[in-house]
Amino acid sequence: MIEALVKAPANLAEMIEIAQNRLGLSDTHIAEALGFDHPVVTELLKQGKMRLPISKVLQLAKLLQIEPARLFRLVLGEHSPEMLEAIQACYAPLLLSPSEVWFIQAVREAAGGRRTATMTLDKDAVLALVTAAPAC
């Protein structure tokens, strides 16, 4: 992922513009990659006159080499800030680093469907032991 692109852009339009310039993508290329027939769609997105359909977030993230969760959060915040706030209140932060995602997936795989618990051994070094309870 090109993390430099996601230095807190103010909105989707800015994120697209930065990534497009960095990667040398045309408006036509972006529109076609998203399944649209006309490059004017890209221009409308960049002008903030059109909202990106939520169903297109993953496609655009891959194309622009942006972390999907960051793009999803930005788009959802533009579509429905109240929904984003509610999701974050229920599920905690939506943004995890790739290493955090890897760690969580590894723990879930190792647990094999069993409930897990962590025991922190050294909070400063972030050394933790993950235990799995028997499946119910």
DSSP assignment string, 1-67: --GGGGS--SSHHHHHHHHHHHHT--HHHHHHHTT-S-THHHHHHHHTSSPPPGGGHHHHHHHHT--
Q: What is the mean pLDDT of residues 31-58?
A: 93
In angstroms, the CA 115 to CA 128 distance is 16
Give the pLDDT score at 53. 94
- Per DSSP, 121 falls in state E
pLDDT above 50 (res 3): no
pLDDT in tens, 85-125: 888 888 766 667 777 778 888 888 888 878 777 666 666 66
pLDDT above 90 (res 52): yes
Q: What is the pTM of this model?
A: 0.64
What percentage of the chain reaches a pLDDT higher than 90?
40
Read off the pLDDT band of 30 (50, 70, 90): very high
> Tokens 């706030």, residue?
85
Q: What is the mean pLDDT of residues 17-37?
A: 94
If we measure between CA atoms, which residue out of 127, 72, 120, 79 comes closest to residue 96? 72
> What is the location of CATH 1.10.260.40 in the chain?
3-91
Provide the CATH number for the domain formed by 3-91 in this structure.
1.10.260.40
Report the mean per-residue pLDDT for the chain: 82
